[in-house]
Structure 1
Amino acid sequence: MAFPDSFLEELRNRVPLSGVVGRSVRLTRRGREFSGLCPFHNEKSPSFTVNDDKGFFHCFGCGAHGDVIGFVMRHNGLPFPDAVEQLAAEAGLQVPQSSPQDRERAEQAASLGSALEAAAEWYRAQLNAQAGREGKAYLERRGLKPETIERFRLGFAPNSRTGLLEAMRARKIPDALLVEAGMVIKSDDGELFDRFRNRVMFPIADRRGRVIAFGGRAMDPNAPAKYLNSPETAVFHKGHTLYNLAMAREAAHAAGTVLVVEGYMDVIALAQAGFEYAVAPLGTALTEEQIALLWRMAAEPVLCFDGDKAGMKAALRAVDRALPLLEPGKSLRFALLPGGQDPDDLIKAQGRDAMEAVLAAALPMAEMLWRKETEGQPIDTPERRAALQAQLYDQAGRIKNTIVQQHYRDHLRERLRGLFNPGRQGPGRNGPGKFGSGPGGRGGPRPGGFSANPWAPGGKFGRPLGDTSPIPQESSDRREKALLLGFLLHPWLAEDHSDSFAGLTFRNAALDSLKSRILEETSRHPGLDGEALVAHLKGQGLQAQLELLDGETGRLVEPFTRADSPRDKVERGWIQAVQRYRLSELEQELAVAQAELADNMSPEAWGRFSALQAELGSVRSQVSASDEL
């Protein structure tokens, strides 16, 4: 059974190779690759590697090599069609049925590829001929070296109505095929003429380096379109590829990053300056498919936009498009160029070092979201502050991954506190009394035990909270280590409880970081046992964080911190521990909210206090119910 190349390519893109191999092979990350013991021959030291970026596995011991389909065939003993169907079901793809029409489309794609390749060679020849003098002079003025022009296969479309058409006819390429490839236009009255005329030509290739389309830059300043791209065809979908994708993949793998710029010339100028891992969308805003392609090359692609209003607008569109797609470890960064400059301008004026500095200062996605929603927004009334808070929380709510969404909410909550109360000492900050209510604190009781505000702690209407001092660090660390150890020993807890675990913010930064990475690994590799999970984490370079838990098994008494505890006791005990930790968090947050209410009896402060009070009551009820079981 024959499958269309486009379907197989989509299948390989949808199913990460490391995820498939990792079900049967314990993989350890080594830089941009994974390694493990080869499943196809007996060995004691690992010689088997998996590379997601390149999409292949290879064993240096027995020579086994292939892609994700080949691995399933070899490991599961399946024929090619069955392996494809198994992976398609996993990826949620409908397997196309082989038919005469499918075979016809495959033959058509091959024919289109041949026609496009012939056109690329003809344009290339024209650039070096008399007809291409103007185009070559333009490229030289832009500072491109001959080897750069050759590497990117740049060409020229002469100012002739039928130059390409006649040249392709001489090569026996049918007119209809040229029309289908988008190289020739057929008018309503049946006249045929070249689509590209008097333009520098930029071949656009797919991820395998095959020419699938062209972009043309007009030499005439009065041309209706400065840049013109091929139309959508059977082999070219502009939202599914990136300019320079094939050549940038290897460089991105070596550099550990990929750079996204706005146009062809930016990509080429950057490559000539040594930034060979640059790509560009094709005249449109980044699509979901293009973002997925970028994440296959690097975990945090850097988007670099021109330093003008249009560039900033493009950056903000990218924020909107990418926000719902964020996953643990996968995001975007934004490099903002000086006003009015593009990468080519900056490199020419100040050199490579200036571009390096711009990239080093790239902003994280969360910062761009914050700027997008807050810059220019007045916050001089409670209603406006509430509107800003609601808008930011709505944006965070668009993130589909619950772990990432929770971290964004936490991040935005902290930034809003700093924005609305810039002078207040928040939780975890040094100051006189952790919550500003100790000696000298703004919300502290007056001499004689009377409060300046009836809603302050100890005031007429102040709700007694008991001891609101911080949890001792030693006690907090112990609770956090117990929760982490329970999750490490029993990763099946992630099936139903990853959201509640992600919602906790550990005071110990190293332990909180370890918690995030554990959640990330269990999300990426469901079904791991405790030993395999620890191996994955060590492979991610988290040996030092894991060592924080060494020796805890003997000290901790909770049933869920022992590997041999029954599943029901593990789950019940772990849920109770999470609830108790959340209860302590809420008690501290409520103390802060009550102190804020004492200082400022605003509707916003009252709303926060009431919401926390209600949530605290709910969690207390849950803890009480759990204790009765």
Structure 2
Amino acid sequence: MSLTPQWLDELRARTTLSTLIGKSIKVQKAGREYKACCPFHNEKTPSFTINDEKGFYHCFGCGAHGDAIRWMTEQRGLPFMDAVKELAAVAGMDIPAADPRAAKRAEQAKGLHDVMAAAQGFFEEQLGGIDGADARAYLLKRGISDATRRAFGFGYSPDSRTRLKTALRDFGDPMLIEAGLLIDPDASEPEGEKTRKRDSYDRFRGRLMIPIRDPRGRVIAFGGRILGAGEPKYLNSPDTPLFDKGRTLYNIDRASPAARQTGRVIVVEGYMDVVALAQAGFGECVAPLGTALTEHQIERLWKMVEVPILCFDGDAAGQKAAIRAAMRALPLLRPGHSLAFATLPQGQDPDDLVRTAGASAFEAVLTQAEPLVDRLWNHAVAAGPLETPEQRAALKQRLSEYTDAMTHNDVRAHYVQAFRERHDALFFTRSARQALPRRDSRDAGGRRGQWSKGQWKPPIAPPSGEARVIRAVGTEGVLLAGMICGLLRYPDRIRAHLEVLSALRIADRQLAAIMEKLLAGVWREESVETEGLLTILGTGELYNRAKGLLRADALTFTFTRKDADATRARRDLDEAIRVIAAGPEIEAALAEATRRAMETLDEASLQQQQDLLKLQADHQQRLADLMQPEDII
């Protein structure tokens, strides 16, 4: 078998080096790179860096340097072919079969770069000549300066079937056809139906030529915009050994260094959007090549920044492209890596906006970019009415389809939680609004409420004397017992919430004493385990109560069960701690607001009490949610 340089480059491009190395050693994010203690020599201060964008690692201590393949051979000790096979399996690539002609094809592929460079020179020369007058006039009309024209390498293909073919005849027709510069009219004919050999001819004719470059700045394809009437408006090179439009981003060679300066990458819809924005000072822009953003392009963007900004037109087509990109990204999401969405004003593209309102207007659009979670939520809510139970169930189903597509467990769990909170808030607000009583309504005790400025103010209840104490009965008591059981099973969460747990006031004497000893034990020790905490409790009633909690079958929380998934259990325990801690604070604030409202009866005090009553209701809903064994969404 023969592994061509192009195939090996693709294998490296599909391998995220920090993820690969992170399977063997602990790596930490450090700006745009990752750092670790070098595995090739002993050190205590990290001097080993990993650069995903460039695809190499380097140690400033011992000089170790290499790419993904070298990591597998030197650190893992694998033979070269075994290393390649393992990386290819993860990347989803097939190892090329043995073929004696492969070496010849690889050598020919090297020559394609020379062909494309020659074609680029020819097109640039034509743009500056007599035939390029219309193309130059078009660029002038679009406001493209000479400096921008030269920087992006604009050219012109004469309206002739053979001008390029004649100019590059020394390369031969087969190579020009393979490079996508000529069309072979016989290529699509079935072998048995060919009658006579027809001449090949230029693919691009009468078009403004836009070179497409790889990350190293080499021309690998062209996009041609027609100047007069005709279709298609834009014509791209076909896929070739150098060019795969689903894996390439226009302007990536110039956007990569710009992104290192700005810390962001902006994805727009087309070539001319990129050019106009670069001229306006936004050099970190790229564009897909006439297709929807692909998974490979998303991964390529993530090698540049963790959250690229997708900026599409505000019309229906632009928003459809945005949600299509969002759906493509869902299975790929991982911690820290996501997408953001900026929407242009209706009827304007980036060129229109920067020319009419300046660069500051486009910058303002970028600052209002939505996180992916917002775009998904808004799209799901806008997809249909939400008036009937069936329609609300459909919303829940749409949200579930989003989360089901996510493959990373932690990311999916956080999206489930975020959607659940928004879902509950949306329908709580609707329910509360529909439940407003009439003007003459009274409460259950016969006390009349107050109608003020079109809003119903329920009667003011007297302050509670137990506002700052966590009760030992009811739903809150069950959750409190479950939380302490969870802390015994996952002692690392005690240190994570030390300040919050220390401030709790617990009505149950035994549970309060257990909490005090747990906090004291964790405070004294760097790390403790469940058995260590039980030892701290001694052998008396506190020990028996704790053992009883650990054996309790009535507690249905994930964090109280021995067989639960540890990641989810810790996440749910964190939520339980937040809910338990919030209860006393809300009650204390509500008691104070109620006292002020009773004294003043002014609009501001009444409104503050209303807001806190809603917050209290939300808190009760969170308590109820935690008592359910399954997720709501």
TM-score, normalised with respect to structure 2: 0.70
State the distance in 1 between where 2:396 and 2:570 align. Answer: 27
Given that residues 483 and 576 in structure 2 are in contact (C-alpha distance below 8 angstroms), is that contact kept between their aligned partners in structure 1?
A: no
**Aligned residue runs from structure 1 range 379-528, under 5 A:** 379-422=386-429, 467-469=474-476, 485-486=491-492
Residue 173 of structure 1 corresponds to which residue in structure 2?
A: 171
Change (3 A) 1:61 1:390: closer
Change (3 A) 1:484 1:194: farther
Bigger drift between 143-152 and 571-580 goes to: 571-580
Q: Deviations over 1:362-383 (max 9, x none)?
A: 0111211122222262222222
Change (3 A) 1:485 1:49: farther
State the distance in 1 between where 2:33 and 2:629 align. Answer: 48
Residue 268 of structure 2 corresponds to which residue in structure 1?
A: 261
State the distance in 2 between where 1:358 and 1:478 align. Answer: 47
Given that residues 17 and 52 in structure 2 are in contact (C-alpha distance below 8 angstroms), is that contact kept between their aligned partners in structure 1?
A: yes
Change (3 A) 1:551 1:147: farther
Give the Å deviation of 1:91. Answer: 4.1
Q: Deviations over 1:398-421 (max 9, x none)?
A: 222232222222222222222222
**Aligned residue runs from structure 1 range 142-291, under 5 A:** 142-169=142-169, 172-188=170-186, 190-220=198-228, 222-291=229-298
State the distance in 2 between where 1:576 and 1:316 align. Answer: 32
Given that residues 287 and 321 in structure 1 are in contact (C-alpha distance below 8 angstroms), is that contact kept between their aligned partners in structure 2?
A: yes
Q: Which residue, 339, 361, 373 being the options, matches 1:366? A: 373
Residue 530 of structure 2 corresponds to which residue in structure 1?
A: 558
Bigger drift between 77-86 and 28-37 goes to: 77-86
Amino acid of the residue matched to residue 261 of structure 1? V
Runs of 5+ consecutive residues of structure 1 not aligned to the other structure: 427-435, 437-441, 449-464, 490-505, 512-548, 563-568, 593-608, 620-629
Amino acid of the residue matched to residue 195 of structure 1? R
Give the Å deviation of 1:107. Answer: 2.4
Residue 96 of structure 1 corresponds to which residue in structure 2?
A: 96
Change (3 A) 1:209 1:476: farther
Runs of 5+ consecutive residues of structure 2 not aligned to the other structure: 187-196, 436-440, 448-471, 502-520, 535-550, 552-558, 584-620
Residue 328 of structure 1 corresponds to which residue in structure 2?
A: 335
Give the Å deviation of 1:37. Answer: 3.7
Q: Deviations over 1:236-276 (max 9, x none)?
A: 22111111122222222332221110011111122222222
Change (3 A) 1:488 1:280: farther
**Aligned residue runs from structure 1 range 538-617, under 5 A:** 551=523, 553=525, 558-559=530-531, 575=564, 578=569, 616=628
Change (3 A) 1:59 1:403: closer
State the distance in 1 between where 2:235 and 2:500 align. Answer: 52
Q: Deviations over 1:322-352 (max 9, x none)?
A: 2232222221110001111111111111111
Which structure exhibits the higher relative contact order, with contacts defined as CA atoms closer than 8 Å and separated by 6 or more residues?
A: 1
State the distance in 1 between where 2:340 and 2:527 align. Answer: 43
Give the Å deviation of 1:126. Answer: 1.2
Q: Deviations over 1:462-503 (max 9, x none)?
A: xxx951348899x998777767654899xxxxxxxxxxxxxx
Residue 598 of structure 1 corresponds to which residue in structure 2?
A: none
Amino acid of the residue matched to residue 193 of structure 1? Y
Change (3 A) 1:373 1:552: farther
The alignment covers a number of residue pairs equal to 507
Residue 51 of structure 2 corresponds to which residue in structure 1?
A: 51
Considering only CA atoms, is the larger Rg found in Structure 1 or Structure 2? 2
State the distance in 2 between where 1:584 and 1:124 align. Answer: 62
**Aligned residue runs from structure 1 range 276-315, under 5 A:** 276-315=283-322
Given that residues 115 and 171 in structure 2 are in contact (C-alpha distance below 8 angstroms), is that contact kept between their aligned partners in structure 1?
A: yes
State the distance in 1 between where 2:332 and 2:397 align. Answer: 21
- Aligned with 2:413: secondary structure? helix
- Aligned with 1:421: secondary structure? helix
State the distance in 2 between where 1:174 and 1:190 align. Answer: 16
Change (3 A) 1:74 1:617: closer
- Aligned with 1:468: secondary structure? helix
State the distance in 2 between where 1:156 and 1:613 align. Answer: 64
State the distance in 1 between where 2:246 and 2:494 align. Answer: 41
Q: Deviations over 1:126-163 (max 9, x none)?
A: 11222212212222222222222222111111122211
State the distance in 1 between where 2:41 and 2:497 align. Answer: 46
TM-score, normalised with respect to structure 1: 0.70
Give the Å deviation of 1:121. Answer: 1.3
Give the Å deviation of 1:555. Answer: 9.4
Q: Deviations over 1:556-603 (max 9, x none)?
A: 7723879xxxxxx999869599499679969x99xx9xxxxxxxxxxx
Change (3 A) 1:583 1:109: closer
Amino acid of the residue matched to residue 155 of structure 2? G
Change (3 A) 1:177 1:204: same
- Aligned with 1:320: secondary structure? helix
State the distance in 2 between where 1:292 and 1:98 align. Answer: 30
